[in-house]
Amino acid sequence: MATTVFHIEGGIGKNIAATAVVATYKKTKPKRNIIIVSAWPEVWTRNPDISRFYVIGNTPYFYQDIIKDKDVEIYMQDPYKQTAHITKKKHLISNWCDMIGIKYSGEGLKLNFNFREIEEGAAYINQFNDGQKPMLLFQPFGGPGPDHQPHPYSCTSLIRTLGQEICTLHKLNKL
């Protein structure tokens, strides 16, 4: 069976973005088995597009079982280090798809939660919100940290803009 290996080094955000890349790849090449090698099994659990997951560093016999004398494609590129992404000419996911030779057609992120995870997540969010107000959750401080990022992203203007938009939408809904 033809196999494709995505070896993804990086944080949880990069892995979440990779779910859209893998969905695009699977749509383009549906007969290939997809194997993920990553440090984030939580992102890939129950993902219907992959056939197997390996944790980085825990891949004994991987070469013999998956690669040697097999029909295999291996993708280990870093889309963050490409000109189109660095110069903000392309979105990360679109750039990543270009790097592996497939056309991105808008596939979204794929996170597959089980019933218990949804229940726990809802309970956590509900402790901050009574369900009567819209709520936005985002993680503004991703990236390599201050040692490698002299000017960390400032989310103040983003929060201000989103707050104004949410308030405007909330007012319009009450009319």
What letters, b where the CB count within 10 A reaches 16 and e where it falls short, cover 4-16? bbbbbebeeebbb
Q: Reduced to 3 states, what is the DSSP secondary structure of residue 79?
A: helix
**Residues 27 and 13 sit within 8 Å (Cβ to Cβ):** no
Better pLDDT: 155 or 57: 57
- How far apart, in whole angstroms, are the C-alpha atoms of residue 163 and residue 155? 12
- What is the distance between the alpha carbons of residues 84 and 102, in angstroms, rounded to a whole number? 16
- Domains detected in the chain: 3-99 (3.40.50), 130-174 (no CATH)
Per cent of the chain over pLDDT 70 is 77
- At 11-56, the pLDDT tens digits run 888 999 999 999 999 999 999 999 999 999 999 999 999 999 999 9
Q: Is the pTM of this model over 0.75?
A: yes
